[in-house]
Chains A and B, each alone.
Chain A
Amino acid sequence: MADARAAPQEILLPVKPGFIVLTLIAALLLNLLPWSGYGLWVKPDFVALVVLYWCIEQPRKIGFVAAWLLGLFMDVADGTLFGQHALAYTILAYAGIVLHRRVRMFSVTPQVLHVIPLLLLNDLIVIAIRGLAGADFPGFQYFIGSFVAGALWAPLGVLLKLPQRPKPDPYHV
């Protein structure tokens, strides 16, 4: 991790708001894919992951409104209690925005160690709300998705930073 501090020093282009919206829609689309069987257990919550990513990377460009609305859409798509994912994503966004300076100091591996507990917290909120509404504990495999999401953090970072990389200057010698 010699270049732990060096990587964030790279000067990136400002991110376009349209790109953020596009990635959030893509995450929603991934969540809506017809997952079934084991896929359902392994599947990370892409929306939570991408919301957390943007809250850490661009806390001024995305905020609670987006997280909350996405939560409502997930509630409708899953047919769950209205407001359940909205609450979970709101708290996730808050954690991301509050911790963004701290998380961004680290290289990718320690970042993942921040991200996984936050996503687990997201799961716990959902479980707590379901429990209050009378559902059973679904078993520990419910948390697998968050660990998979943690594993996806590094590739996600590379992918979402692609449009921000400066184009090579043809006149540069």
Chain B
Amino acid sequence: MEHSAPPFFKTGPTPLARLLIFAALSLTLLVADARFNYLNPLRQLAAVIIYPLQRIASAPASIARRVGDFFVTHSSMRGENARLAEENFSNAAALQQLKALQAENAQLRALIAARERLELKVIGAEVLYAARDPFSRKIIVDKGLQNDITPGRAVVDDRGVVGQVTRVYPWLSEVTLITDKGQFVPVQNLRNGLRAVLAGTGNDGVLELRFIPLNADFQNGDRLVTSGIDGVYPPGLPVAQVSQVERNAAQLFARITCTPLAGVASHTKVLIVAGQREAPPRPAEEQKPARPKKPRKG
């Protein structure tokens, strides 16, 4: 058989030599990616090559979903229609109020010469798949550079913040969910305006408020919204609800666990927020406030 060739045939370097070459190559890539971020062009190239495969692989699920949508029963459709009409009606009242409030707000802000808040522009995107990586919480969505997505955009669904765009490919982008370990969201307690930093834990449905003093006023059921002080997440988006507060006098900080409001692990459609306010330049020589870290690559 052809694989048991005698050694006097020329077969190139030995397997061990090849292993060492390719292992060294991989390690170089690892270090270059983890430490220096040099490899974006290479990554983009590989992403373009496998893009058709990614689309093909996610096609069965989306086709199944569309077929399922098509065969909804008449009664469930009518029920949903009635519910939506009702919702629309109640929203309309709130919306009219909102218009008035916005106008008033604009006037007041003009009076105090505050920066105008940008209106949020959103781009709808479909979730192609969740990254097959139990170490991190990421999803891949079907909008990318072609749709002017840039890294750092906030991603929301109809209930709250889902995560943040961390990598952008030509037609896809990668969203790190707020539950990812190492993903931080600056938040504010809606009830009393206390600011804090919300950290992902790596588990679905569990978030944690870090470094909150024992006597801070956080209670079960408090709603947390983005504070917008980071310039990444626009202010006022709902993020999470406090689910458990543990105050142990032996420890320096309270243990506050929260659950995300958005269906972080379970959606097929998300919105990518486009309009963001540019953060003012940072003061040079001051104590830096807790600043949301960009998630580590990887």
Interface residues of A (CB under 8 A from B): 14, 25, 28-36, 40-41, 43, 58-60, 63-65, 67-68, 71-73, 75-84, 86-87, 90-91, 94, 97-98, 100-101, 129-130, 133-136, 138-139, 141-142
Among B2, B33, B47, point to the contact of A81 (Cβ < 8 A): B33
Q: In the assembled complex, which residues on chain B have CB atoms less than 8 Å from the CB atom of A73?
A: 46, 49-50
> Are A101 and B29 in contact (CB-based, < 8 A)?
no
Question: CA separation between A73 and B3, bound complex, in Å?
Answer: 28
In the assembled complex, the CB of A108 is this many whole angstroms from the nearest CB of chain B, namely: 19
B residues adjacent to A (C-beta < 8 A): 2-5, 15-16, 18-19, 21-23, 25-30, 32-34, 39, 42-43, 46-47, 49-50, 53-54, 56-58, 60-61, 128-136, 138, 140, 166-167, 174, 181-182, 202, 296-298
Are B57 and A129 interface neighbours, CB within 8 A?
no
Tell me whether B19 and A40 are in contact (CB under 8 A).
Answer: no
When chains A and B are docked, how far (Å) is the Cα of A25 from the Cα of B56? 12
**Which has the most chain A C-beta neighbours within 10 Å: B22, B28, B39?**
B22
Q: Given A60-B2, A64-B19, are A83 and B33 neighbors across the interface (CB < 8 Å)?
A: yes
A28, A33, A67, A141: the one contacting B129 at CB < 8 Å is A33
27 contacts between A and B (CB under 8 A): A14-B2, A28-B50, A32-B57, A32-B129, A34-B58, A41-B134, A60-B2, A64-B21, A64-B22, A71-B26, A75-B46, A76-B46, A76-B47, A76-B50, A78-B132, A78-B133, A79-B140, A79-B167, A82-B30, A83-B30, A84-B298, A86-B26, A129-B30, A133-B296, A135-B135, A136-B135, A139-B134
Of A33, A79, A87, A94, which one neighbours B131 at CB under 8 angstroms? A79
Provide the residues of chain B in CB contact with A67, threshold 8 Å: 22
| Complex alpha-carbon distance, A85 and B181, angstroms | 21
Are the C-beta atoms of A68 and B26 separated by less than 8 Å? yes
Known: A81-B30, A81-B298, A87-B23. A34 touches B57 (CB 8 A): yes
| Beta-carbon contact of B138 and A28 below 8 Å | no
Chain A residues contacting B46 (CB-CB under 8 Å) are 72-73, 75-76
For A138, the closest partner residue in chain B by CB is: B134
CB closest residue in chain B, given A33 = B57
Most buried by A among B54, B166, B298: B298
Q: A29: which B residues are within 8 A, CB to CB?
A: 53, 56-57
Closest Cβ of chain B to A56, distance in Å, is 10
Which chain B residues border A78 with CB–CB below 8 Å?
131-133, 138
| Contact B181–A91 (Cβ < 8 Å) | no
**How far does the alpha carbon of A35 sit from the alpha carbon of B127 in the complex, in Å?**
12
What residues of chain A lie closer than 8 Å to B135, measured between beta carbons? 80, 130, 135-136, 138
CB contact between A28 and one of B53, B133, B166 (< 8 Å): that residue? B53
Q: How far is the CB of A11 from chain B (nearest CB, A)?
A: 9
Question: Once the chains bind, are A40 and B130 in contact (CB under 8 Å)?
Answer: yes
Cα distance A121–B140 in the bound complex, in angstroms: 28
Whether the Cβ atoms of A86 and B133 lie closer than 8 Å is no
- Does the CB pair B202–A136 fall under 8 Å? yes
Closest chain-A Cβ to B202's Cβ sits at a distance in Å of 6
Closest approach, in angstroms, between the C-beta of A23 and any C-beta of chain B?
Answer: 14
Partner among B18, B43, B56, B133 whose Cβ is within 8 Å of the Cβ of A82: B43
Complex CA gap A110/B64 in Å reads 40
Which residue among A29, A67, A79, A87 has the maximum number of chain B CB atoms within 10 Å of its CB? A79
- In the complex, chain B residues whose CB is within 8 Å of the CB of A36: 129-130
Known: A33-B61, A68-B25. 13 other contacts (CB 8 A): A14-B2, A33-B57, A35-B132, A40-B134, A67-B22, A72-B29, A81-B30, A83-B26, A90-B22, A90-B26, A91-B19, A135-B136, A135-B298
Contact, CB under 8 Å: B298 / A133 = yes
Whether A82 pairs with B132 at a CB distance below 8 angstroms is no
9 pairs of A and B residues whose beta carbons are closest in the complex? A83-B29, A87-B26, A34-B129, A32-B57, A81-B298, A82-B33, A83-B30, A94-B19, A83-B26
Kindly state the separation between the CA atoms of A58 and B18 in the bound complex, as whole angstroms: 17
